[in-house]
Amino acid sequence: MLLFALHRNTVGHSDFAPYTCVNSGHGQQRMDTWQTISIKQPWAALLVAGVKTVEVRTWSTTLRGPVLIHAGRSADARPEAWAHITTPELRAAANRLGGLVGWATLTECRTYLTAEQFAAEAVQHLNPTAWYAPPRLFGFRFVKPQPLPFRPLPGKLFFFPVNGLVVSPPELPTAAHQAQDAPPP
């Protein structure tokens, strides 16, 4: 479990200062500055839950590594977006607007040059093929999503910094899980 507090510094930037952090035994991840991406709901909740693994944008990035997931202040009103909300837990998570909801590791930026390329990865980004807009779209691939306790925070366009957040890393596989994943002798 992670607890952190939001503070405003003298120049108006948002800083997160940990006041209690329970170590999972595997260490903690502290970054002086986290890159953060704001995503409309329900897409932010779907990404943090691991249902969606690719966030689609009209701009590319070379950024790789841990990224905070921010739920935008307004939600996507399109019914096809909300059709992916299949549990009460996801519904509750998707109703959180205007703050941090989790983090994940950005591993890749895919380029979609055709509607066919875009459609081929629909199961990962969850968008209808009709959303493809020439000349290209970009897909930010995320892995190892982790929810965080909701904390209100203004969002911004593109990536934006959040300072001083400490999080525990995702749980590492146990020996039992590793044995299950191992090929038979």
Q: Pick from 104, 103, 100, 130: which is nearest to 115 by CA? A: 130
The one-letter amino acid code at 60 reads S
pLDDT digits 0-9 by tens, 111-168:
999 999 999 999 999 999 999 999 999 999 999 999 999 999 989 999 999 987 766 5
Burial (CB count <10 Å: 0-12, 13-18, 19+), residue 73: middle
**What is the predicted pLDDT for the residue at 181?**
39
pLDDT digits 0-9 by tens, 120-129:
999 999 999 9
Selected residue with higher pLDDT from 33 and 115:
115
**What is the predicted pLDDT for the residue at 185?**
42
Domains of the chain: 27-163 (2.30.130.30)
As a whole number of angstroms, the distance between CA 17 and CA 84 comes to 34
pTM, to two decimals: 0.75
pLDDT band at 13 (very low <50, low <70, confident <90, very high): very low
Q: What is the mean pLDDT of the chain?
A: 79
